[in-house]
Amino acid sequence: MRFDTRLVHGGRGVTPGTGDVVPPIHVSTTYERRAQDDPRYFYGRGENPTREQLEECLAELEGARFATVLSSGQAAAATVLAQLRPGQCLVSTDDVYSGTDALFERAARQGVRVRYADLTTPEGIDSALDVPGVALVWVETPTNPLLSVVDIAEVAGRAHERGARLVVDNTFASPVLQRPLDLGADVSLYSTTKSIAGHADVLGGALVYRDEELHASYRSYRTAAGNVPGALDCFLVRRGLHTLSLRVDRQVANAWALVERLRASPVVGRIHYPGLAEHPQHAVAKAQMTGPGSMVSFEYLGGPSARLLDRFALFSCGVSLGGVHSLVECPALMTHRPVPAEVRARRGISDSLIRLSAGIEDSRDLVEDLSRALADGG
């Protein structure tokens, strides 16, 4: 089956006995055991049929053997980090989600050496990995919130030469636009809360991979930690997958319309969008992604960012991304506020940086809303 067909049919069969086209939601937390039986299911913290259907579909989308779904994107990231031992080194892109920063800080307190680096150039990659004990390389691409793009194949090759695994947070792109495993990554990580579920009504996370050893480690940790999603959450994420390609296609088209409007505004400075020819990693994005994504960031030159946020009508001022509703936020005031100001400044996250997440509304209405907001500040 091709990708869009797998979105609909992956991990799903008609239910035996009843013929349900939509699989039922299995809510039981425990399963009957008999002396003569060795049942597949034992306890909901470990096994659940609805959860497994979602995992099978996510694995199929990237040609992987395994997927492990968790209660949130943060839970997925924490599961990866839990595999590291004191003294080992984690190398990460220097522009990452603030929640990832917080998890890295906790890992450092447990003895993991954390090193941030610019991984957008071969020289930066070599310099970052030129330390002993590198066990894991962590990449966001495109990054949050500056939308830098990292060459996954380049990093994967250099990480594997040093015996390190590569994890790619693919939340911004989704498997529609980018498939890290095919580019050499060991693990694709998702906050399924975002594009995959797509409706801002369910939390979830996922790890997609091919390695059986990782599978055993991730499942063992999930069962012990108990950070599993409930059956209804898994059902909602699986339902969201049905329309993932349709939504992403519309969102990318809307993002382009917003970019064109931003380029015409005198109160807009630098625009961060991988689709633009002037983006520093435009060629890499074009090579490894099938589209530039639904996220756009820009520098607002028309006054305090908070005033701009208040002038939008259709764009909701809120965190998160990838849903059917368009969102606007100022990372310095919202998603990345926990990051110290000096660190934000070093990374290039200014107080005037604005981040847009394009939804699926009519692009003309979104452009008009953006135009009104920018005009009031001009």
Measure the CA–CA gap between 38 and 54, rounded to whole angstroms. 24
Catalytic residue among 31, 45, 115, 376: 45
SS3 category, 82: coil
Backbone angles phi, psi at 139, to 5 degrees: -125, 130
Catalytic residue among 97, 190, 209, 273: 97
Angle at 139 between CA 315 and CA 238, to 5 degrees: 55
User: Does residue 194 carry a catalytic annotation?
Assistant: yes
Give the Cβ contact number of residue 158 at 10 Å.
Answer: 21
The residue with tokens 């015409």 is 264
Identify the bridge partners of residue 93 per DSSP, sorted by sequence position. 117
Catalytic residue among 94, 95, 169, 369: 169
User: Does residue 169 carry a catalytic annotation?
Assistant: yes
Going through the chain in order, the beta strands assigned E by DSSP cover 66-70, 89-93, 113-117, 134-140, 165-169, 187-191, 205-209, 268-272, 295-300, 316-317, 327-329, 353-357
Q: Which of 173, 184, 197 is nearest to 57 (CA)?
A: 197
CA dist 202 to 170, 337, 369, Å?
18, 24, 27
Catalytic residue among 51, 113, 158, 194: 194
Do the Cβ atoms of 206 and 175 come closer than 8 Å? no
User: Does residue 351 carry a catalytic annotation?
Assistant: no
Do the Cβ atoms of 293 and 274 come closer than 8 Å? yes
User: Does residue 221 carry a catalytic annotation?
Assistant: no
Q: How many residues appear in the chain? A: 378
Burial class (CB in 10 A: 0-12, 13-18, 19+), 265: buried
Token pair, residue 340, equals 């110290």
Do the Cβ atoms of 130 and 137 come closer than 8 Å? no
Just list the catalytic residues.
45, 97, 169, 194
